């Protein structure tokens, strides 16, 4: 299940967005009253977008900074109209997608479908030599689980519980359908996610380790160096050259 973070106190907009997301499907809406309630930058990476219905200097400042910490996070301004005095500051950020006016519902629908298709955690099946359309319905559900839940929960136990099958049976099915052991597949997925994070955001290594589901920075650093051949810090410098 994908997630969208809705920042508004407007009851009509809350209801409108809830209906629109229900029609799109596969997106859970989390509603908050203000951007001040958004505190955990690592949790933002699990969202497709942040939607706001009101703009002022502080909100624009806050939403302009959040993508620094989260790869691919989109910010949407959604309302009936836009006050002209807000346009210059919004234009300077170039980070806010405006969904306003009479066509806002259809435009929002199209944008959210696009965001789902381009979510940074979408598994690159072709890169791994897997044909998604050939996977069983249950295995496709497992892949969607990997793409949308916090990465720390992407393990055999959590997925098999979600699918309501035994961990042993899931491991066998996964190997048979994908050609990968679950462990080697997740290592490849983490490699892919790491490359996206290191090229799209500039955050401390500790935040990256949390984003990727590691509880300890030392564990992430050891795993990273074993897979990439260099430390995360050195890899970051190489990617920035």
Asked which of 70, 96, 117 is the last residue of a domain, the reply is 117
Same domain, 177 and 203: yes
Q: What is the CATH number of the domain that holds 155?
A: 1.10.10.60
* 202 shares a domain with 108: no
**Mean pLDDT (the chain, rounded):** 85
Distances in Å between the alpha carbon of 193 and those of 6, 44, 120, 151, 208? 25, 15, 8, 10, 10
Q: Assess whether 160 and 213 both reside in one domain.
A: yes
Q: Which of 54, 86, 117 is the last residue of a domain?
A: 117
Residue-wise pLDDT for 134-164, tens only, equals 999 999 999 999 998 888 899 999 999 999 9
Per-residue pLDDT at 210 exceeds 80: yes
Closest by CA to 7, choosing from 29, 24, 26, is 29
- Do 31 and 73 fall into the same domain? yes
Split at pLDDT 50, 70, 90, the class of 42 is very low
Round to whole Å and give the CA distance between 17 and 105: 9
End-of-domain residue from the set 117, 148, 176: 117
pTM: 0.77
Does residue 112 surpass a pLDDT of 90? yes
In the predicted structure, residue 41 carries a pLDDT above the cut 50 = no
Mean pLDDT of 38-52: 72
Q: How many domains does the chain have?
A: 2
Q: Which residues form the domain of 64?
A: 2-117
Q: Same structural domain for residues 94 and 167?
A: no
129 in the same domain as 40? no
Mean pLDDT of 110-118: 91
Q: What percent of the chain has pLDDT over 90?
A: 45
């Amino acid at each position: 299940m994908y997630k969208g973070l809705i920042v508004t106190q407007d009851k009509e907009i809350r209801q409108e967005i809830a209906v629109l997301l229900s029609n799109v499907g596969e997106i859970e809406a989390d509603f908050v009253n203000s951007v001040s309630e958004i505190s955990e930058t690592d949790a933002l990476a699990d969202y497709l977008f942040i939607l706001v219905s009101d703009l002022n200097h502080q909100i624009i400042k806050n939403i302009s900074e959040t993508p620094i910490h989260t790869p691919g996070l989109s910010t949407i301004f959604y309302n009936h109209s836009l006050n002209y005095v807000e346009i210059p500051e919004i234009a300077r950020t170039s980070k806010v997608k405006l969904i306003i006016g009479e066509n806002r519902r259809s435009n929002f629908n199209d944008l959210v479908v696009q965001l789902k298709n381009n979510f940074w955690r979408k598994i690159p099946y072709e890169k791994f030599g897997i044909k998604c359309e050939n996977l069983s319905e249950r295995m496709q559900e497992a892949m969607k689980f990997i793409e949308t839940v916090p990465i720390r929960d992407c393990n055999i136990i959590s997925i098999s519980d979600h699918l309501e099958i035994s961990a042993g049976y899931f491991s066998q099915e996964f190997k048979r359908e994908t050609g990968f052991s679950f462990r080697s597949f997740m290592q490849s997925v983490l490699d892919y996610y790491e490359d996206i994070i290191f090229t799209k955001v500039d955050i401390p290594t500790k935040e990256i380790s949390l984003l990727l589901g590691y509880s300890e920075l030392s564990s992430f650093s050891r795993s990273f160096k074993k897979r990439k051949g260099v430390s995360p810090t050195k890899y970051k410098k190489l990617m920035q050259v």
